[in-house]
A and B are shown apart, each in its own frame.
Chain A
Amino acid sequence: MAKLVLMFNKQVLKEYPFDKESITIGRKQDNDICIDNLAVSGYHARIDKTGYQYILTDLQSTNGTFVNDKKISSHRLRHGDNIIIGKHVLLFVASEKERQEAEKEKEPEFNKTMMLDTEKQRELLAKQEAPVPTPKKPNKIGVLSFIDGSKLGEVELTKKLTRIGKSDNVEIKLKGLFMGSTAATISRRPSGYTITFTGGLSKLKVNGEVVKGSVPLKDFDTIELGSYKFQFYQKDSNR
């Protein structure tokens, strides 16, 4: 079994056997390796075991995680690596078997897909997302804000695909003689929200430009559909 040796000022403080699939390092009490020092983030780093390999991941810590003086975001640990967190050092010691396997599993195996035991990681990512305002995390939800005096007000785009038109089975129902049954749709995709014109004689305009196909939506884009006018923006989702 591999182990981690916690050191401070070249003094050994404690040894931790690696007896789980995944361990966490941080200032908070519920970490497997708890380092009570202000330079250490609440949940600072994680090490996952996959087969005979150990993978260290920095959990977006404030002061970073270093291995042998190099800053890392993730790193495959080798026997003898020094993991530096704040002023503490964790020495990674692999077992004899793991050292042999690591030798065998060199370069070519990097192309092989591996699985992480994911539950633990999910929990951690969930924990980590809450306190850290992570940039670009898709936890936002799109909103249509009607600015044309209709009584719709604000409509949240909670569905992956929102249809707009005058038919009864659409998510946002609008009136108008020339409005299509489904006049437009807004879909939420990996790249963000996209609006698509789907039919009817009422024109779809985004920022004044007529749209006949699809365009991606950006915050505060103005959308016109027939006599309706509304603005798109994204807000933090509270779910």
Chain B
Amino acid sequence: MLIKASGITDVGLKRETNEDAFSIDDELHLYVVADGMGGHQAGEVASRIAVDLINSAFKKWLTTSAPEEELFGLPDESLSPEGNYLASSIRLANRVIHELATMGDKRQGMGTTVAALLIMPSKVIAANVGDSRIYLIREGTIERLSRDHTIVAEQIEMGIMTVEEANASSLKHILTRNLGSAEDVLPEVFELEPANRDRFVLCTDGLTDLVTDEEILDLTLKADEPESLCRNFVDLALERGAHDNTTVVSVFVTKENKKDGSLRRSAMALADIWNGVQRVFKKLKP
């Protein structure tokens, strides 16, 4: 499996500081973006802590195959061990930011969103808190692998607000979940199987405020590699006024080239059959 990733963060045209942060780990294939908030540079601190802690905690648990009881917080039975490592690292980052944010100094009230993506040969894990998003572009369609934690998104899900009303709402930036404001947080986690030619886009609301899902699909389908795709996204946001910090990470997956793929697949199927035949023989032998 060949995985290429690239990321850019841009302060935008209206803000003086960049409170976004992101990370790319080409060994583990873990990608994180975070959008911090809170005055006196506290937003920058919150997003940086989130990105760094999620990376280090996840890496430690994954490389030691940590048992469930070593994780931070109760494991979620609907998730794989790796899904729980990722969820747990987000809960840990939340607790640390919350502690700092309630100490009463200049970091009072700081917080951050987070969107994290892990790609493994057998599964893809997407986790988020807040309104930073993860998109999957596959077979010409775009799908969100994250869920926005905002008042308006929750009202859309409950069927009491339309998407149009939500886009026009002055409340659309109010988060119902974030890292920092509460002692515990429940991250949204999804797992799926990777496919050849999968493209992923992780981004903060600086992008999604100005660029629609359809436009993200369009630009991704036209892109040859992740670096120029990220550049195109940020340029489009800048062209449209970039009122907020904008961060994009894009990841291109190539599972196998076509020839090898069909060969390997036939070989795997043959191996499956061979194992089956052997099992039958074993049973037949007295």
Contact = CB atoms under 8 A, between A and B. Distances in A.
Contact of B138 (A118, A160, A201, A214): A214
Given A136-B157, A176-B276, 11 more contacts: A110-B170, A113-B35, A115-B174, A115-B178, A115-B181, A118-B181, A118-B182, A159-B79, A159-B80, A161-B123, A196-B192
B221 to A, nearest CB: 16
A57 B152 CA distance: 10
Nearest to A185: B193
A41 to B, nearest CB: 13
Contact of B160 (A60, A138, A189, A198): A60
A199 B182 contact: no
The 7 closest A-B pairs by CB, nearest first: A161-B191, A187-B192, A160-B191, A135-B159, A113-B173, A185-B193, A110-B170
A125 B109 CA distance: 23
Given A111-B244, A201-B273, A74 B169 contact: yes
Contact of B158 (A55, A114, A137): A137
Interface in B125-183: 131, 138-139, 143-147, 151-152, 154-155, 157-161, 165, 169-171, 173-178, 180-183
Given A136-B157, A178-B269, A161 B175 contact: no
Contacts of B181: 115-118
A103 interface: no
A44 interface: no
16 contacts: A50-B174, A55-B174, A73-B165, A112-B37, A113-B174, A114-B37, A115-B109, A115-B111, A119-B183, A160-B79, A161-B80, A166-B272, A178-B272, A190-B145, A190-B146, A196-B193
A108 to B, nearest CB: 8
A76 interface: yes
Nearest to B184: A119
A191 interface: yes
Given A113-B175, A115-B181, A137-B157, A187 B272 contact: no
A237 B144 CA distance: 23
A160 B109 CA distance: 33
A74 B173 CA distance: 13
A113 B195 contact: no
Contact of A160 (B131, B144, B189): B189
A134 B182 contact: no
Contacts, number: 150
Interface string A87-122: 000000000000000000000001111111111010
B64 interface: no
B214 interface: no
Contacts of A158: 77-78
Given A111-B173, A117-B181, A160-B78, A189 B243 contact: no
A150 B203 CA distance: 46
A200 B144 contact: no
Nearest to B170: A110
Nearest to A50: B174
Interface size class of B (residues with CB under 8 A): 35 or more
A130 interface: no
Interface in B32-62: 35, 37
Contacts of B180: 115
A114 B182 contact: no
A208 interface: no
B143 A189 contact: yes
B171 A213 contact: no
Contact of A134 (B79, B159, B165, B169): B159
B170 A116 contact: no
Given A158-B78, A177-B273, A214-B195, A187 B174 contact: no
Contacts of A125: 154
B173 A196 contact: no
B272 A191 contact: no
A79 interface: no
Contacts of B151: 55, 57, 74, 116
Residue from A116, A137, A180 with most neighbouring chain B CB atoms (10 Å): A116
Interface string B259-284: 00000010011001100110000000
A233 B272 CA distance: 30
B10 interface: no
A114 B175 contact: yes
A213 B143 CA distance: 15
Interface string A178-197: 11110001011111001010
Given A160-B78, A189-B145, A116 B193 contact: no
A187 B191 contact: yes
Contacts of A73: 155, 160-161, 165
Contacts of A191: 143-144
Nearest to A213: B139
